[in-house]
């Protein structure tokens, strides 16, 4: 019988060959020489030719099995950046770090301030700020799934860097330190209580506020990251922003429930979207420029990209009426992912 490590390596090599053959073209430019790069990540950028002085920066973190180019080509972020005048940074995982291209959000050596992958992303940001004269007060981060969990990491480890963050089908910061714990938290098992969740962020740096604005997105039928993780993310940030359990405003946006929590001055500091019937992926609207369906990129008639940018003050609210769409497609379940999980269970590394 082959050892587990050999099986996983062979599966990863197979997926790499398949992804290389299917890799989309992209207009992103690679960023090199951004520092010591302790996390051994790659970096890609989109800088509009007519970028205004002191422009904002959005950091976009892809999910597992994705690349920077694939996420960019489906998400519409480049189209919005060109239209609204802000810079984009796409950190990219390498297979030498994670065979499934997941950011290692569950590894303590990659999620602590000034260590590993978190430090690499911070170095990328600093390089772009210096090279292009970007506005340090308008730096934002978003991510899907493992990228969403890594966005949680960046917001906790470097809260003074970010004005806002958006976590799509992600997880709270600091809730897992091993692979088995990661799978448990993804299923919603063993989550810390709200006080402990808040303490994890407070303990990640010496920062004591103000805190980044948070946008939370979740599909109600997500079978990869349990919807209860959205509750935990909300719990993690409510105490930091000193807002109560009930939202200040509840409305419907593009047919989707939208909850908003405001601080004492009435500023929206946390928002949440729960998309009924949507599985695991980034919610998109195919009527928006550059937004197209793909693996874990779901055309449900709601543009998370545009609404997140609006929440951050980077784009105006959409003025058109929402289009009617079919019921969201179920999330894709990869045969390779199932095989790897089976191997991990047989090895006793996962329940």
In 189-227, where does DSSP find H-type helix? Answer: 194-202
Taking the C-alpha atoms of residue 61 and residue 137, their distance in angstroms, rounded to an integer, is 20
Could you identify the residue written with the tokens 């009426």?
321
Residues 6+ apart with CB under 8 A from 294: 70, 73, 74
Q: Give the C-alpha separation, 351 to 258, whole Å.
A: 34
Is 145 considered catalytic here?
Answer: yes
Q: Which one, of 211, 30, 38, lies nearest residue 123 by Cα? A: 38
Which pair of structure tokens corresponds to residue 36?
């010591």
Enter the tokens of residue 92.
């990219």
Instruction: Find tokens 């297979």 and name the residue.
Output: 95
Instruction: Give backbone dihedrals phi and psi of 106, rounded to 5 degrees, phi first.
Output: -105, 0
Catalytically annotated residue among 145, 152, 215, 304: 145
Burial class (CB in 10 A: 0-12, 13-18, 19+), 300: buried
Instruction: Supply φ then ψ for residue 207, to 5 degrees.
Output: -65, 140
Mark out the alpha helices in 89-227 (DSSP H runs). Answer: 108-111, 116-132, 146-157, 179-186, 194-202
Is the N-terminal amide bond of 136 cis, ω within 30° of 0?
no
Which residues are designated catalytic? Answer: 145
């Amino acid at each position: 019988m082959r050892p587990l490590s050999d099986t996983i390596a062979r599966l990863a090599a197979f997926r790499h060959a398949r992804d290389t053959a299917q890799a989309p073209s992209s207009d992103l430019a690679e960023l090199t020489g951004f520092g010591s790069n302790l996390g051994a990540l790659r970096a890609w950028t989109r800088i509009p030719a007519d970028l205004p002085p002191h422009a904002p920066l959005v950091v976009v973190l892809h999910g597992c099995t994705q690349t920077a180019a694939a996420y960019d080509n489906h998400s519409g972020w480049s189209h919005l950046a060109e239209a609204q005048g802000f810079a984009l940074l796409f950190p990219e995982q390498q297979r030498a770090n994670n065979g499934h291209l997941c950011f290692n959000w569950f590894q303590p050596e990659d999620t602590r301030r000034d260590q590993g992958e978190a430090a690499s992303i911070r170095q990328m940001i600093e390089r772009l700020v210096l090279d292009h004269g970007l506005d340090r007060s308008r730096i934002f981060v978003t991510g899907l799934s493992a990228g969403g969990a890594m966005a949680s990491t960046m917001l906790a480890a470097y809260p003074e860097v970010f004005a806002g963050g958006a976590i799509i089908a992600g997880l709270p910061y600091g809730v897992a330190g091993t692979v088995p714990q990661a799978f448990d938290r993804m299923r919603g098992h063993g989550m810390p209580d709200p006080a402990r969740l808040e303490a994890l962020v407070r303990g990640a740096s010496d920062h004591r506020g103000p805190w980044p604005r948070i946008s939370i997105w979740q599909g109600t039928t997500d079978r990869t990251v349990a919807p209860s993780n959205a509750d935990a993310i909300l719990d993690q940030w409510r105490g930091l922003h000193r807002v109560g359990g009930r939202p200040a405003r509840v409305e419907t946006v593009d047919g989707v429930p939208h909850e908003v929590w405001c601080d004492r001055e009435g500023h929206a500091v946390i928002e949440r979207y729960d998309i009924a019937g949507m599985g695991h992926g980034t919610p998109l609207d195919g009527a928006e420029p550059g937004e197209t369906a793909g693996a874990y990129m779901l055309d449900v008639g709601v543009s998370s990209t545009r609404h997140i940018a609006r929440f951050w003050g980077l784009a105006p609210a959409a003025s058109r009426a929402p289009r009617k769409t079919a019921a969201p497609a179920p999330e894709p379940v990869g045969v390779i992912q199932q095989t790897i999980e089976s191997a991990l269970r047989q090895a006793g590394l996962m329940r």
